[in-house]
Amino acid sequence: MKQLLASFAQYEYWANKQLLEVILSLSEEQQLQEIKSSFPSIQKTLLHMWDASSIWWQRLHKTEQLEVPSLSFHPAMNDIVQGLLKQNQQWIEWVNTATDEDLVFILAYKTLKGDLFEQPVKEIVLHLNNHGTFHRGQLVTMLRQVGVEKIPQTDYILFSRL
C-alpha cells in the first residue's frame, strides 16, 4: 500500500506541475475568466485544490484552528501555484517516511460544516489524489475554453513510464 500511495503522491505533484506551467503562461484575464464549472475560474479551481490539500494536511497534524489559504489572503497566481506544489511535496515526504501504522491510523476530524468522522489516513491520501485528478480534468476543459490549444497530458500511465 505504501508504495502505491507514494507513487500517487509523486504523480499528483508531476501532473499538477504539467498543467500549472501552462496556467502560469496565461494572461491574468484568462486565469480569472468566468467559466461554468465546479468553481467559476481557473484561479478559483486551483485555490480549491490548494485549500483541500492544506486542510487535510492540517487535520493530519491535528491543527486546532484550520487556516484555509483562500480565506487567509488573496494570493496571486504564482503564490497559488507555489503553495499547491509545496503542499504536494509535503505529502510526498510524509508518505515516503510514513510507517504502516501511520497509514492505517484512524484519524478523527471535523468537516468544515462541523460533522465528525473517523477514517484511516491511507483513505485520505487516496482521496487527495482522486480529488486532484477530478479537478485537473476540469482545468483541462477550462483551459480549452480560454483558448489554450496545447495542453499536456497528465494520465497516470504517462507518469509511470518516466
CA distance 69 to 77: 13
> pTM, whole model, 2 decimals?
0.95
- Return mean pLDDT, the chain: 96
pLDDT in tens, 7-37: 999 999 999 999 999 999 999 999 999 999 9
Beta strands in the chain (DSSP E): 106-110, 116-120
Structural domains of the chain in order of their starting residue, each with its CATH number: 2-30+37-160 (1.20.120.450)
Q: Strand, helix or coil at 37?
A: coil
Q: Please tell me the total number of residues recorded for the chain in this structure.
A: 162
Residue 75 pLDDT level (bands cut at 50, 70, 90): confident
Q: Strand, helix or coil at 159?
A: helix
